[in-house]
Amino acid sequence: MPSPLIVTLLLDDAAHQRFDRLRAAHFPPERNHLQAHVTLFHALPGEHRAAIGRELAVVAARPAFDVAVSGVRFLGRGVALDLSAPELTTLRAGLADAFDPWLTRQDRQWSRPHVTVQNKVAPEVARALHAELTASFVPETVTARGLGLWRYLGGPWAAEAEFSFGSDRSG
């Protein structure tokens, strides 16, 4: 059985690099197998890779769009940056409809997009980072540039394909 697939929102390079530096600085190094990311779907069936890729290619034909970095969220044992964009909500809902037969409970309950910069730490460590990031937080706008498709490898992910917005190629 092929490994599960993950779908992410890809952000502009400057935002991605900034969020990845935050993650590298605050995520436990022994658990940080990934770069900063915005997960849209956590576990789509790998055996449907071709159909998933075709759907992502269709959706990626849309233009790039702005995403607000709207706040700092305390996760209990970590911290995330909240994101919001009506276009993202609509895009994700359309993909959820297309992938409905394959959605896990976790993917059916998706609600607030975010970038996790810290996870799996002691609550007091997370509270301290939350306070630090909240004190210096300034809302900003970043650009959603496409969709990423990844294969889950039991911790690390392997890149499968990238679907840039404004493209009509299948990956």
Q: The domain 5-162: what is its CATH number? A: 3.90.1140.10
CB neighbours of 79 closer than 8 A, spacing ≥ 6?
26, 72, 73, 116, 117, 118, 126, 129, 130, 133
Looking at the DSSP assignment, which residues form a beta bridge with residue 44? 5
* Confidence (pTM): 0.93
What are the tens digits of pLDDT across the range 82-97? 999 999 999 999 999 9
In this prediction, residue 169 has a pLDDT band, given cuts at 50, 70 and 90, of very low
Query: Which pLDDT does position 167 carry in this prediction?
Result: 62
Count CA atoms within 13 Å of residue 41 on its CB side.
29
Query: Which pLDDT does position 86 carry in this prediction?
Result: 96
What are the tens digits of pLDDT across the range 114-130? 999 999 999 999 999 99
Which residue bears the tokens 């297309």? 98
Average pLDDT over residues 68-93: 97
Query: Which pLDDT does position 170 carry in this prediction?
Result: 46
Contact by Cβ (8 Å): 53, 149: yes
